[in-house]
Amino acid sequence: MRKNIAVIEGDGIGVEIIAQAVKVIKKIEQKFGHIFNLEYVEMGGCAIDKYGVALPDFSLEKCRAADAVLLGAVGGPKWDDPTAKVRPEQGLLGLRAGLECYANIRPAKVYKPLAEASPLKDSIISEGFDIVVVRELTGGIYFGESGREGDSAYDTERYSIPEIERIARIAFKIAQGRKKIVHSVDKANVLESSRLWRETVARVAKDYPDITVVNILVDNAAMQLVRNPSQFDVMLTSNIFGDILSDEASQITGSIGMLASASTGDGSRGLYEPIHGSAPDIAGKNIANPIATILSVAMMLDISFGLKEEAAAIDAAVNSVLEDGFRTADIATNGESPIGTTEMGSLICERI
């Protein structure tokens, strides 16, 4: 197989974690006989410094021309003024919109060797935690009308039926390959947009009679995630609810450094990235956890390229390294001596 991958290092630890992900891509290429052409693209704070915009038009075009996009992280204190007209996050929003990626798929699971790193007690984690949050990505309050009037400000949560239908179908299709249950998260007791969400999900569900749909209010979902997380398998959420709940789920796994994500649309092309930020406080110190980015590569191979065996090989390699007690600083417990970013990447490559 020959595929073209646009690679965005971004800012902060993005450069370090992407370097380890690229090592894994090269190992898969060698081991399985594929050809992956990598083209590096500038986006984020580094692009602001160089071009005055977070996502130059030529960078977006290179991403559109690729079969998949791999992203590290963007942002940092240098560009952290929320009132600035140009911010790194605009590049990420522009990229998602430009690639027409309306679905964010965020798996979260506890690897058995890391069970002790979870903040939840053993009696809860022992029941298992392996979920997928399917988050609508291009609508809702982040994209609604906003502004200021006098001494007040407003942001608008708005969804259309087609937006809800398409994200619901993705969640149902994912559920068909898992436990066939979808928890649809809303705030239908208060919000009109959530009432439309619930009505539309119920209508789409009729096309998937093998799937059980459970409606759950977002506040209850947040509580149940820490009380009884094993009840969930696929969670279907709006943009803002998914943003919050997926970060909560990441902490149950022990570290946000373990969580990969995929942003997809109607075609096979997708945007793959860890869910964590650029962590400028540890950038350049060789202590960042590259596993989330490496698992994002596995998602890319599976979802965009259909290479399930190769994706499984990466996941198995990660589990093998963890079983042997190797940890970066964020997941080290019981007094283990942590290893660095580069060593973790190399060890995973050796196990593929």
- Give the active site residues: 142, 187, 219, 243, 247
264 dihedral zone (left: phi>0; alpha: psi -120 to 50; beta): beta
Contact predicate 154/187, CB 8 Å: no
Contact predicate 249/133, CB 8 Å: yes
Burial of residue 25, with CB atoms counted within 10 A of its CB: 0-12 exposed, 13-18 middle, 19 or more buried: buried
Contact predicate 120/289, CB 8 Å: no
Q: How far is CA 159 from the centre of its chain?
A: 22
| Look-up of token digits 């570290």 | 255
Which secondary-structure segment (H or E) carries 175? Answer: helix 161-176
Query: Distance between CA 197 and CA 259 in Å, rounded?
Result: 27
**N-terminal to C-terminal alpha carbon distance within the chain:** 18
Query: Distance between CA 110 and CA 5 in Å, rounded?
Result: 29
Contact predicate 110/258, CB 8 Å: no
Question: Which pair of structure tokens corresponds to residue 349?
Answer: 């490559």
The 8-class DSSP code of residue 188 comes to T
What phi and psi values does residue 145 have, to the nearest 5 degrees?
-60, 135
Least Cα distance to 252 among 54, 117, 51 occurs for: 117
Query: Distance between CA 293 and CA 18 in Å, rounded?
Result: 7
Least Cα distance to 93 among 257, 301, 239 occurs for: 239
Least Cα distance to 264 among 106, 40, 122, 144 occurs for: 106
- Counting every residue written for the chain, the total comes to 352
